[in-house]
Structure 1
Amino acid sequence: MLDKISLLLVIIGAINWALIGVFQFDLVAYLFGGQSAVVSRIVYTLVGAAGLWCISMLFEERSRARE
């Protein structure tokens, strides 16, 4: 379950970075009141933590990754 939540957060972060790169539009900042808003910083932190968690998924055995 934690793997799926982490992957979802990483996907959200990737989409946000794509929007920043292509359109110079930060969706997270737009939705939550700017980059320095508390809620935005929490979202950025959760996405970063999810990315770190997904690194561990690279080293898992193949059988567990299919669960």
Structure 2
Amino acid sequence: MSTLRKIALALVIIGAINWGLIGLFRFDLVSAIFGGQTAGLSRLIYTLVGLSGLICLSYFFDREEADESERYTSPVIDEETGVRPNYGTEFAEDPDLDLNFNPSKNLYDNEEE
């Protein structure tokens, strides 16, 4: 996650907390700290929170950070052996480990016949 996205996410969280305080207690924390809603610094904070919300919209369209279900359903192949691991349960069919550890077994089987 880039630094800009981390800052944007922090500002969105601050904005969400501020909106929660407004909704629950009619208390605007940003305006109380920075001198009212029309004060320049308050307007700057509101603007930054709004821009941060637009930046955080990109999280919905980000393919790098796939959700958990999508991450674990994609086929995984071990780069060293080139074999797809079998995470079967005790109820599944046993894997043929001889083929995994001796890929040339088929060559020997064909010579015997």
TM-score higher than 0.5 here?
A: yes
**How many residues end up aligned between the 2 structures?**
64
Misfit runs of 4+, over 3 Å: none
Aligned partner of 2:33 in structure 1 is 31
CA RMSD, 1 decimal:
1.2
Bigger radius of gyration among the two: 2
Of Structure 1 and Structure 2, the greater helix share is in 1
Deviation at 1:20, TM superposition (A): 0.2
In 2, the alpha carbon distance for the partners of 1:11 and 1:52 equals 13
Question: Which blocks of at least 5 consecutive residues in structure 1 are unaligned?
Answer: none
Q: Distance in 2 between matches of 1:18 and 1:44?
A: 15
Please, what TM-score do these two structures have when normalized by structure 2?
0.55
Which consecutive residues of structure 2, in runs of 5 or more, have no partner in the other structure?
67-113
Greater RCO (CA < 8 Å, at least 6 residues apart): 1
Residue deviations 1:11-55 (CA, integer Å, cap 9, x gap): 000000000000000000000000000000000000000000000
